[in-house]
Amino acid sequence: MERLYGFSLVAGVAAIIAGCANVNGITVKGADDDLDDHIRISSELYDEPYMGFPAPTDYFFQSTVDKQSGLKLYELHLAVNKDNWKRWDQVTFNYEGETAELPLVWRRSDMTCTDYGCTYSELGVAGIDEAMVKYIAAQPEPVTMTIGSARVDDSLDFTVQPAEARLMLEETQQRSL
């Protein structure tokens, strides 16, 4: 009996893990809620950082679709860990041969200190046009973006995956029809 129970437990855990592995990482909220005026689509779970901590940065796309008008808004969310406050206020990247600048607003910050030093974490958001998300989705290689500011010399590069942008756009398009 114990052996049968152990086998059932292992089979159940394997089924759960297999089910989670097939999820594309795009989440949808509000689509079936008649009281919610918007549908929120997010790629936050697309490629989660190891152990949940960005090192030094993690990003995800989010879109909002107004159920009445069909208006779509896109955002690029950032989680950054660094060795001190950087005062960065923009994200830049090469967009069709030009430098695109996206204003960056930090929504939350935290400082964690131990005997070995401090870590500074910030969560921010930058609005991004649908055309820019489509441009990223159409690229054959990851797109390099830079978090920085004209006020400081330091900056941080990170890469955005075209496949993530494509899945995000596909789900947003399906929800806005």
Are 65 and 41 contacting, i.e. CB atoms less than 8 angstroms apart?
A: yes
Class of domain 21-175: mainly beta
| pLDDT at 8 exceeding the cut of 70 | no
User: What digits encode the pLDDT tens for the residues 32-80?
Assistant: 888 888 889 998 888 755 555 556 788 999 999 998 888 999 999 998 8
Global pTM reads: 0.78
How many C-alpha atoms does 163 have within 13 Å on its Cβ side? 5
For residues 139 and 44, give the distance between their C-alpha atoms in angstroms, rounded to a whole number: 20
